[in-house]
Structure formats: structure tokens, C-alpha cells
């Protein structure tokens, strides 16, 4: 299965992936309208440590502990992609408690949110990958 | 052909069904369900009362789950006797089921100490099931004065659930602090203040000694008038069916790493079992939904003849009250146990880390819960703290506290 992988040697720490992610999941067609003056809640986040930068998003684990732990039966697999049924999620954040990568966050509406590889926002391929200026984030089979 | 019997129809049973079917597509599966509902998300009963979910959305799996898994479910009946040698289960209606492998997934039952006069109380409920939830929904209205006995997870989630419905809510607990099983004094005080700000009253270090129909006489001499009583003192693993078998029970059924009991061909999973807690090195009744699913699945896989072991279980909770999130994990080793405690205080909460012998043994987070799973994983996997930059990890709670090599493995590989 194709996943998002990061190469920290190539990451510039520009945080563009965060903006592209927030835009892709905003439901808006205009990036300015989607993001300007708004607090963004991207599903990928860039960590910075001295001169090292790297992006973290859901690993889509094969036997994901978040799926096994979800108390609402909201986290599940769709074609090997871990996705959240937002109508079932009650925002208990057990997924945040168990995700070893810190890749699940609380959305503004209180339910959990995470990378779904842009499969649920009609984009097709991950926006973070497409917009990465230095190809530090790739979408491939490994 | 195998004939699997699953006793109980909660999340552990769902895990067991999925575990069996991951290996054995044709064996016959029978589920005996005391309750008249398909497997549902038990912890959501308070969210329902709060208006955050509805009955159909509370179901754990899709409506075709049992058909897709080719399972027979017997609703509204219970197993009353297990004959270990004959491999027969006797049901409450007198019928008998023959099985080759059975899994006890009976969960727990509310435990209520004897309280004088409690039989005089008309509107009294536990808070464990959908039926309890529907009864509470019916009984509680804007004029209701509700007394909840027990300021643990169940009692307080119930209080939150009905806060918008009831006139007045009082919660009492014999313990001196709320959520005494998962919080320490300092963190409990923060959460208590937050809940009190919602108009909920606490009587701590105090409990009801006797009752009139609508009045509780407290140990302290106080009295509490109420019209609805909710008892949430505690739960007990439901292991009564194994009494005449070779299975050993302490507080819960003892199982090996394959979820097998000492009784012939009987497995067990979920809240009725004891599991090994890697953070304390002791056996505990975990009574946690994630554990229930994972144990059920492990039991199912092994019942179907494939070997799988379960390890790395720890106590852990993610729970919120009125918008304040709490996450806890592991064991709280303090100076008294040869450990050390690091506390970071924030405007709206705190983070406490409990360290021992070079490992993170546990944590309590109130308010600041982002990326808590990174710490949960350190506890569960017993990662030596020498492998990480704990100072940085504590500050940023992200992967900058890990080695570059570690990151390359995780974010560049398949996990």
C-alpha cells in the first residue's frame, strides 16, 4: 500500500504541508478564503529541532492500535487506510491516548481528526506530498 | 468442524468473533447475549444522555456484522451453567449448547455494598447498559434531584451525561477525592473544581449509610434529598460461570498470554479477566474497552487454532468532563516506591510524569493532552528513557525527543 513517507534530511521546515493539508480538508475551493485569518488544524505537523525538521502524519499502521481502541467504533479501515467516521466519534480522544506517533488530534469541532491520505476529501493524492517544494514528503509503496 | 461459543456480546465478544473469522471462515459461532442489543459501545451511554450520539450510532459494528461474520446470536438469554468436561452450556431457558471451544466475555456486574433501607428507593439505577441509560433518561427531568453514589469514572460520566437534564446533582464517594483510581490528590482537585463549576455538588469522604424513599442519611450526619438514585460504587468481574471449572479466579479470571483459562477449551477476554500490567509487573482487572477488544481478538485467533500472544497491556484512560480532557496511563511510582515525579503545571491543568528505574512508569495529564500517545507507548513498550531525550520530549511532546535513526525507522518504514 502507498503511504506518506518523510525524509528529514530534505525537509526545509517550511510548514507548507500543514497549509496544504488544512486547505485540502477545508472544503473550500479558494486557499485564501480557506486559510486567511483562520487557526488551521492540519493533520500533518512539522516538528522542528535546531536545524532538523520533519513532518509527522498518520502511519496507517497495519494493525492500528487506534482502530482497536476506539470506544465508539468510529475508527476503521477503508482499503487499508485508517479513517474516522465523524458521525460516530464522540471526541473521547482514546485514539490520542494510544497513537504512538502523536498523529491524531482533536479538531475544532471536538471530534478526532487525522490524515486519511486525502482519500476522503475527493483530492485523490495527498496534498502535503503534492505541495512539498523539496520532495521531502513522498507518497509511495515501500 | 469447530463449534465456538461466545458468552457475552460486548466488545470482547466482537473482538473474539473477528479473531476467529480471521483464521476460520467456516466454523460455527454462537453468541449468547444477555442484553437485547447488537454489540454496542458501552462507554457511550453517557454521551447519549448528553445528546452527543444516538442509539443507532452507538452500535460498535455495522448492522450486518453478525451476518457477515456468519454468527448466530441468541438474545435475551444467559448461560447459567458451563459443563467443562461435557463441553455443554446450559441456558436460562433450559436449552443446551454443545461447543468445542468457548470464550467467557461476560464483562463485569455492578457491585453494591449492603445499604440500609435502599429497598425503599423507587427510582434507583446502575449505569452500565443501554437499558440503564434509557431508564435514567426516562426518570430524570428538569425538576429531578439526583444522588450519585460513587465519584469514579462511571458515576462522573453519568453526572456529566445528565447535567443538562437534571435539576440538581449530588455525587458522594467514600474516597476523599474524585476519580481516585486514576488521579492523585492534586490532579483530582483540578478536575473537581471544573466539575463543581458546572453546578455539580460533591460530598467526598462521605457516603450514604441508610435511606428513606427520597432521603439519604450520610455517614457525616448530613442528609441528601433526592428523587433519583444512581449507584456507581464499583464493578466486579462476572466470573460465576467458571466456579465449577478448573479455571482460577482471583479478582478476575486468570488467563495465559493466549487468553486461555485453566479450564479445558475455555478462553476468556475483557472485563471478566485479569491481565498482566507491564507498568507495575502485577496482574490487574483492566476493565478497559481497548483491552477488551484486543483480548477478545487474541482469544478468537487462538481458539481458531492459530497462535497469537497478547502483551504490553497497561491501565490507561482518556476521559473528559465538560470539555476538560484527562489522560492517564501506567503506574504512579512516587518517591515512596523508589520512583520520582516530575510535575509541569499549566494554566488549565498539569502533566505529571512518574519515573522509576530508568523507565516512564506512568503519567497523569489534565487539560494538556496533545500527543499523549507518545508517552503511553514509552510505558507500554518499556522503552528505556536512556534511548530518548526526555527533557525535550517533556517540553515538546513530539518526535524531536527521539533519535534520528528511530525517526527514520518509523516515518520511513511500514509500521
pLDDT per residue as tens digits for the range B272-285: 999 999 999 999 99
Indicate yes or no: CB of A97 within 8 angstroms of CB of B399. Answer: no
What's the sign of the alpha-carbon dihedral A69, A73, A75, A76? positive
Is A97 in the same domain as A142? no
Q: Note whether A133 and A20 are within 8 A (CB).
A: no
Is the pLDDT at B109 greater than 90? The verdict is: yes
Q: Do A52 and A1 have their domain in common?
A: yes
pLDDT score for B312: 82
- Same domain membership, residue A3 and residue A52: yes
Does the CA dihedral B71-B76-B82-B88 come out positive or negative? Answer: negative
Q: Is pLDDT of B3 > 70? A: yes
B102-111, B155-164, B397-406: range with lowest mean pLDDT: B397-406
Q: What is the span of the domain harbouring residue A10? A: 1-57+121-142
Question: For B397, which of A55, A94, A102 is closest by C-beta distance?
Answer: A102
- Chosen from A75, A102, A108, A114 to mutate, greatest number of chain B CBs within 10 A: A102
A69 interaction partners in chain B (CB closer than 8 Å): 289-290, 293
Helices B11-21/B289-303 angle, 10° precision: 30
- Minimum Cα–Cα distance from B42: chain A residue: A71
Closest CA to B278 of B316, B328, B313, B329: B313
CA distance B409 to B415: 9
- Residue B412: its pLDDT value, please? 79
CB contact under 8 A, A100 and B374: yes
Q: Is the model's pLDDT at B326 over the cut of 80?
A: yes
Q: Is the pLDDT of residue B415 over 70?
A: no
Q: Are B148 and B139 in contact (CB under 8 A)?
A: no
CA distance A119 to chain B (A): 19
What torsion do the CA atoms of B152, B146, B45, B135 make, to the nearest 10 degrees? Answer: 140
Question: Taking CB atoms and an 8 Å limit, are A96 and B370 in contact across chains?
Answer: yes
Distance CA A21, CA B303 (A): 44
Q: Do B190 and B349 contact (CB within 8 A), yes or no?
A: yes
Do A91 and B52 make contact, defined as CB atoms within 8 angstroms?
yes
B381-410 average pLDDT score: 93
All residues at 6 or more sequence positions from B195 whose CB lies less than 8 Å from its CB, including other chains: B156, B159, B160, B178, B202, B321, B322
Q: Which of B57, B290, B413 sits opposite A94 (nearest CB)?
A: B290
Coil, helix or strand for B276?
Answer: strand
Report whether pLDDT(B414) > 70: no
The predicted structure's pLDDT at residue A39: 87
Nearest one of A126, A50, A119 to A81, comparing CA atoms:
A119
What number is the average pLDDT over the span B119-123? 97
Total residue count of chain A as it appears in this document: 142
Spell out a b/e string for A41-70, using b for 16 or more CB atoms within 10 Å of the CB, else e: bbbbbbbebeeebbbbbbbbbeebbbbbbb
Provide the pLDDT for residue B196: 98
Mutation target to probe the B interface, by most B beta carbons within 10 A, among A97, A101, A104 is A97
CB contact under 8 A, A68 and B297: yes
Read off the pLDDT of residues B201-252 as tens digits, 9 standing for 90 and up: 999 999 999 999 999 999 999 999 999 999 999 999 999 999 999 999 999 9
- Mean pLDDT, chain A, whole residue set: 94
Element (H, E) at B73: strand B71-75
Determine, for residues B400 and A68 on separate chains, whether the beta-carbon distance falls below 8 Å: no
How many Å apart are CA B182 and CA B184, to the nearest integer?
7
Q: Do B404 and A3 touch (CB under 8 A)?
A: no
**Domain co-membership, A6 together with A47:** yes
Which positions in chain B touch A94 (Cβ < 8 Å)? 289-290, 318
Q: Do A88 and B373 touch (CB under 8 A)?
A: no
Both A91 and A126 in one domain: the answer is no
pLDDT digits (tens, 9 = 90+) for A63-91: 999 999 999 999 999 999 999 999 999 99
* Residue B116 pLDDT > 80: yes
| Domain CATH number, residue A80 | 3.30.70.20
Q: What digits encode the pLDDT tens for the residues B48-90?
A: 999 999 999 999 999 999 999 999 999 999 999 999 999 999 9
Average pLDDT on A6-27 reads 94
Chain A residues at the B interface, defined by Cβ less than 8 Å, are: 3, 5-8, 45, 47-49, 52, 54-56, 59, 61-62, 65, 68-69, 71-73, 87-88, 90-102, 104-106, 142
| pLDDT score recorded for residue B311 | 79
Domains in chain B with CATH codes: 3-106+238-303 (3.50.50.60), 111-235 (3.50.50.60), 323-412 (3.30.390.30)
Are both A133 and A85 inside the same structural domain?
Answer: no
Is A73 within 8 Å of B414 when comparing Cβ atoms? no
Tens digit of pLDDT for each residue in B295-322?
999 999 999 999 999 978 999 999 999 9
Of A5, A54, A100, the CB nearest to B377: A100
Q: Are residues A33 and A52 in the same domain?
A: yes
Query: Does residue A2 sit in the same domain as residue A50?
Result: yes
Range B170-181 average pLDDT? 97
ipTM of the complex: 0.96
CA of B240 vs chain A CAs: smallest distance (Å): 26
Same domain, A127 and A97: no
Q: Which three cell numbers stand for residue B343?
A: 510535575
Q: Which of A70, A77, A93 is the best residue to mutate to test the B interface, defined by the most B CB atoms within 10 Å of its own CB?
A: A93
Q: Do B294 and A68 touch (CB under 8 A)?
A: yes
Whether the predicted pLDDT of B200 surpasses 70: yes
Shared domain check, A67 and A48: no
* pLDDT, tens digit (0-9, with 9 covering 90-100), for B328-371: 999 999 999 999 999 999 999 999 999 999 999 999 999 999 99
- For the beta carbon of residue B309, count every other beta carbon within 10 angstroms: 11
Is pLDDT above 90 for A125?
Answer: no
Write b or e for each residue in B54-84: b if 16 or more Cβ atoms lie within 10 A of its Cβ, otherwise e.
eeebbbbbeeebbeebebebbeeebbeebeb
Q: Which of A5, A8, A71, A110 to probe the B interface (max B CBs under 10 A)?
A: A71
Number of domains composing chain A: 2
pLDDT computed for residue A122 by the predictor:
76
For B267-276, what is the mean pLDDT? 97
Asked if A96 and B396 come within 8 Å (Cβ–Cβ), the reply is: no
Which residue of chain B is at minimal alpha-carbon distance from A89? B53
Both A53 and A64 in one domain: the answer is no
Amino acid at each position: 500500500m502507498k503511504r506518506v513517507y518523510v525524509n528529514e534530511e530534505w525537509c526545509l521546515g517550511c510548514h507548507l504541508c500543514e497549509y496544504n493539508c488544512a486547505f485540502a480538508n477545508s472544503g473550500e475551493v479558494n486557499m485564501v478564503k480557506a486559510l486567511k485569518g483562520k487557526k488551521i488544524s492540519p493533520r500533518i505537523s512539522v516538528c522542528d529541532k535546531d536545524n532538523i525538521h520533519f513532518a509527522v502524519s498518520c502511519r496507517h499502521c497495519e494493525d492500528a492500535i487506534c482502530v482497536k481502541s476506539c470506544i465508539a467504533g468510529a475508527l476503521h479501515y477503508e482499503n487499508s487506510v485508517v479513517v474516522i467516521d465523524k458521525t460516530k466519534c464522540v471526541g473521547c480522544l482514546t485514539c490520542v491516548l494510544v497513537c504512538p506517533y502523536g498523529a491524531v488530534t482533536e479538531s475544532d469541532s471536538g471530534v478526532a481528526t487525522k490524515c486519511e491520505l486525502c482519500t476522503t476529501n475527493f483530492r485523490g493524492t495527498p496534498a502535503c506530498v503534492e505541495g512539498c517544494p523539496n520532495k521531502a514528503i513522498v507518497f509511495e509503496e515501500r | 468442524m469447530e463449534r465456538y461459543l461466545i458468552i457475552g456480546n460486548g466488545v470482547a465478544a466482537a473482538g473474539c468473533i473477528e479473531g476467529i473469522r480471521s483464521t476460520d471462515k467456516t466454523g460455527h459461532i454462537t453468541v449468547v447475549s444477555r442484553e437485547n442489543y447488537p454489540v454496542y459501545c458501552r462507554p457511550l451511554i453517557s454521551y447519549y444522555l448528553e445528546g452527543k450520539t444516538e442509539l443507532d450510532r452507538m452500535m460498535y459494528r455495522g448492522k450486518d456484522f453478525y451476518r457477515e461474520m456468519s454468527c448466530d446470536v441468541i438474545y435475551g438469554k444467559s448461560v447459567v451453567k458451563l459443563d467443562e468436561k461435557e463441553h455443554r452450556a446450559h441456558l436460562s431457558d433450559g436449552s443446551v449448547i454443545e461447543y468445542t471451544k468457548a470464550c467467557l466475555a461476560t464483562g463485569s456486574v455492578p457491585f453494591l455494598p449492603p445499604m440500609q433501607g435502599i429497598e425503599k428507593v423507587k427510582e434507583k439505577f446502575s449505569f452500565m447498559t443501554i437499558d440503564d441509560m434509557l431508564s435514567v433518561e426516562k426518570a430524570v427531568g428538569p425538576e429531578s434531584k439526583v444522588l450519585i453514589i460513587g465519584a469514579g469514572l462511571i458515576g462522573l460520566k453519568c453526572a456529566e451525561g445528565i447535567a443538562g437534564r437534571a435539576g440538581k446533582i449530588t455525587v458522594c464517594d467514600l474516597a476523599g477525592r474524585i476519580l481516585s483510581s486514576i488521579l492523585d490528590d492534586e490532579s483530582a482537585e483540578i478536575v473537581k473544581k471544573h466539575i463543581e463549576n458546572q453546578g455539580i455538588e460533591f460530598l467526598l469522604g462521605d457516603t450514604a449509610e441508610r435511606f428513606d424513599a427520597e432521603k439519604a442519611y450520610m455517614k457525616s450526619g448530613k442528609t441528601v434529598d433526592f428523587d433519583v438514585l444512581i449507584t456507581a460504587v464499583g464493578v466486579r468481574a462476572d466470573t460465576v460461570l467458571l466456579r465449577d471449572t478448573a479455571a482460577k479466579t482471583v479478582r478476575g479470571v486468570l488467563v495465559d498470554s493466549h487468553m486461555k483459562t485453566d479450564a479445558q477449551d475455555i478462553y476468556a477476554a475483557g472485563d471478566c479477566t485479569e491481565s498482566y500490567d507491564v507498568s507495575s509487573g502485577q496482574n490487574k482487572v483492566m476493565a478497559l474497552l481497548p483491552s477488551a477488544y484486543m483480548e477478545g481478538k487474541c482469544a478468537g485467533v487462538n481458539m481458531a487454532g492459530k497462535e497469537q500472544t497478547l502483551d504490553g497491556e497497561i491501565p490507561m484512560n482518556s476521559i473528559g468532563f465538560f470539555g476538560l480532557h484527562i489522560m492517564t496511563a501506567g503506574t504512579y511510582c512516587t518517591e515512596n516506591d523508589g520512583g520520582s515525579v516530575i510535575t509541569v503545571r499549566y494554566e488549565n491543568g498539569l502533566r505529571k510524569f512518574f519515573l522509576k528505574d530508568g523507565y516512564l512508569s506512568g503519567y497523569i495529564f489534565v487539560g494538556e493532552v496533545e500527543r499523549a500517545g507518545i508517552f503511553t507507548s514509552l510505558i507500554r513498550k518499556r522503552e528505556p528513557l536512556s534511548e530518548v531525550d526526555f527533557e525535550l520530549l517533556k517540553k515538546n511532546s513530539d518526535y524531536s525527543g527521539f533519535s534520528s535513526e528511530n525517526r527514520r525507522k518509523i516515518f520511513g518504514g511500514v509500521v
